[in-house]
């Protein structure tokens, strides 16, 4: 109902605009023709659809329809105008004005939105096909070249045709006989029709392997994460995600014998489908000085000692606030961050306050959407002097009005990994300014390895 009301409103606005233009066109027609007149599909709109929509809106990808031809775009003209006005597409749930700036932002600029809207208001003129940009080349090769190590689950996973999304963790032995520095990570979804997103990590405790063995078929089910506490994370993939090489001298270290974990969010499409997705690892060719390390807000200690026992979102509460903070104990650079909540998440803001009192909003997720969570990488790493405090403020909607609420009627919700539990964590990816490893394995990882073992034993 709301949807059709919005479309009627858009149609009314269109008539008002065109009537007004009719009055002035006799005198100003020359001016607008000189400025290029109304936008046409091939000249003005097609380049924008190519750049911002076709990563997903083409055959064999996750979006439900294609936007490759004039006809396909014209048919959905009013839907497109409405959805970009709401900034619901392309999917980018974070603020475009506060926080970041982040690499590869899936965002239409104001003037791009205006161009598409004017085109729809003008009744979607096709224009001259000679103005069209060359079709995009969607070659499915690795963008950074052939990886040094490609790992794929040996048995494809079979996804049912109908029902809820599924979250699987696949455990792939790395086969590494010595530890390796990694400077880039990329993913290749095996079946992009059903792969919504992929998260990577590595396990050295054997706990993931045990979970896998305990569940029949490839992989094991785990909604909110990897089902075990991994020793390190390996980024992730979502449609349109572009792999980048880490800053010079920065790497991730994967110890010998590690198991690689791929957590895959599957979206059913009405047909039985199969998938075996791959991770590609690029080994460092140059000496590495800094480990790309992780930190959590709230801290792992707080999660284990307090939140697991005390955290509670009362039922009905439509704006339940959660706060946490962490203070950097060393001079660092923040490379990227990953906000994480489940279905009740509403918004998520992380602010850094430096020791001199200056504040910077690092990220502001205005409309949390579990389906479109991502990792965000700063265009320029952010300097974090020792003593900088990270303040996280987030809200949950545990009311019946939240269509994503997994409980009907709502119930009190506590901390945990299940679909029906909640979490709120800001994962930070940092480098330490003082670290000079000279290509030697990071000593801190030894500590991490031990701690991961202990935690997994205590779960």
Classify residue 357 as left (phi > 0), alpha (psi -120 to 50) or beta: left
**Which distant-in-sequence residues (6+ apart) come within 8 Å of 182 by Cβ?**
234, 251, 252, 253, 254, 281, 282, 283, 284
Distance CA(33)–CA(42), nearest Å, equals 17
Pairing of the two strands 250-254 and 290-291: parallel
Give yes or no for a contact between 84 and 98, defined as CB atoms under 8 angstroms apart.
no
In the complex, the smallest distance separating the C-beta of residue 65 from ligand HEC, rounded to whole angstroms, is 7
The angle subtended at Cα 55 by Cα 54 and Cα 58, nearest 5°, is 55
* Best CA proximity match to 303, nearest among 180, 424, 176: 424
Distance CA(302)–CA(390), nearest Å, equals 15
- Footprint of ligand HEC on this chain (CB under 6 A)? 52-53, 55-57, 62-64, 76, 79-80, 83-84, 89-91, 106, 108, 239-240, 371
In the complex, the smallest distance separating the C-beta of residue 203 from ligand HEC, rounded to whole angstroms, is 29
The angle subtended at Cα 187 by Cα 72 and Cα 183, nearest 5°, is 135
Which is nearer to ligand HEC, 90 or 230 (by Cβ)? 90
Distance CA(312)–CA(275), nearest Å, equals 37
Which is nearer to ligand HEC, 282 or 368 (by Cβ)? 368
Give yes or no for a contact between 192 and 276, defined as CB atoms under 8 angstroms apart.
no
Task: Return the structure tokens found at 308.
Answer: 């697991």
HSE-CB for 448 with a 13 A CA cutoff = 21
Which is nearer to ligand HEC, 61 or 205 (by Cβ)? 61
What is the DSSP track for 22-40? Answer: HHHHHHHHHHHHHTT-S--
Which is nearer to ligand HEC, 33 or 242 (by Cβ)? 242
Which is nearer to ligand HEC, 107 or 444 (by Cβ)? 107
In the complex, the smallest distance separating the C-beta of residue 29 from ligand HEC, rounded to whole angstroms, is 30
In the complex, the smallest distance separating the C-beta of residue 357 from ligand HEC, rounded to whole angstroms, is 39
Distance CA(40)–CA(133), nearest Å, equals 13
Which is nearer to ligand HEC, 299 or 419 (by Cβ)? 419
Which is nearer to ligand HEC, 56 or 363 (by Cβ)? 56
In the complex, the smallest distance separating the C-beta of residue 2 from ligand HEC, rounded to whole angstroms, is 11
In the complex, the smallest distance separating the C-beta of residue 100 from ligand HEC, rounded to whole angstroms, is 18
Which is nearer to ligand HEC, 31 or 109 (by Cβ)? 109
In the complex, the smallest distance separating the C-beta of residue 209 from ligand HEC, rounded to whole angstroms, is 32
Which is nearer to ligand HEC, 56 or 392 (by Cβ)? 56
Dihedral angle computed from the Cα positions of residues 453, 247, 375 and 186, in that order, rounded to the nearest 10 degrees: -80
In the complex, the smallest distance separating the C-beta of residue 391 from ligand HEC, rounded to whole angstroms, is 30
Which is nearer to ligand HEC, 224 or 374 (by Cβ)? 374
In the complex, the smallest distance separating the C-beta of residue 442 from ligand HEC, rounded to whole angstroms, is 34
* Best CA proximity match to 341, nearest among 389, 400, 430, 406: 406
In the complex, the smallest distance separating the C-beta of residue 166 from ligand HEC, rounded to whole angstroms, is 15
């Amino acid at each position: 109902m709301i949807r059709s009301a919005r479309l009627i409103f858009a149609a009314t606005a269109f008539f008002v605009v065109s009537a007004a233009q009719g009055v002035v066109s006799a005198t100003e027609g020359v001016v607008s023709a000189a400025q290029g007149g109304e936008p046409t599909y091939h000249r003005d709109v097609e380049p924008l659809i190519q750049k911002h929509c076709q990563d997903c809106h083409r055959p064999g990808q996750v979006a439900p329809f294609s936007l490759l031809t004039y006809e396909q775009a014209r048919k959905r003209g009013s839907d497109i105008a409405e959805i970009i006005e709401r900034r619901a597409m392309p999917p980018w749930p974070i603020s475009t004005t506060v926080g970041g700036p982040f690499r590869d932002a899936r965002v239409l600029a104001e003037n791009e939105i205006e161009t598409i809207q004017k085109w729809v208001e003008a009744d979607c003129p096709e224009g001259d096909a000679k103005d069209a940009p060359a079709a995009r080349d969607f070659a499915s090769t690795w963008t950074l070249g052939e990886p040094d190590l490609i790992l794929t689950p040996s048995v494809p996973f079979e996804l049912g045709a109908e029902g809820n999304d599924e979250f699987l963790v696949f455990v792939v032995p790395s086969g590494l006989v010595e530890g390796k520095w990694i400077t880039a990570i990329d993913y290749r979804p095996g079946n992009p029709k059903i792969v919504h997103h992929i998260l990577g990590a590595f396990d050295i405790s054997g706990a993931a392997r045990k979970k896998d063995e305990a569940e029949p078929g490839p992989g094991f089910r785990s909604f909110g994460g990897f089902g075990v506490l991994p020793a390190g994370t390996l980024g992730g993939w979502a449609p349109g995600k572009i792999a980048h090489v880490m800053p010079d001298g920065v790497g991730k270290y994967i110890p010998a014998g590690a198991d690689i974990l791929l957590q895959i969010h599957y979206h059913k499409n009405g047909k039985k489908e199969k998938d075996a997705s791959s991770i590609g690892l690029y080994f460092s060719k140059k000496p590495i000085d800094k480990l790309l390390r992780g930190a959590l807000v709230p801290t792992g200690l707080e999660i284990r000692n307090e939140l697991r026992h005390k955290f509670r979102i009362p039922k009905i509460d439509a704006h339940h606030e959660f706060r946490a903070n962490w203070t950097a104990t060393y001079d660092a650079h923040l490379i990227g961050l990953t906000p994480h909540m489940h279905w009740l998440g509403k918004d998520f803001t992380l602010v850094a306050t430096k020791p001199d009192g200056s504040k910077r909003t690092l990220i502001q997720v205005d409309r949390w959407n579990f389906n479109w969570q991502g990792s965000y990488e700063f265009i320029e790493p952010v300097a974090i002097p020792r003593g900088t405090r990270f303040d996280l403020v987030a809200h949950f909607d545990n009311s019946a009005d939240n269509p994503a609420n997994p409980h009907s009627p709502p119930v009190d919700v506590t901390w945990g990994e299940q679909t029906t539990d909640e979490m709120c964590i800001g994962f930070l990816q940092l480098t330490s300014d003082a670290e000079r490893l000279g290509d030697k394995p990071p000593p801190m990882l030894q500590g991490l390895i031990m701690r991961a073992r202990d935690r997994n034993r205590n779960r």
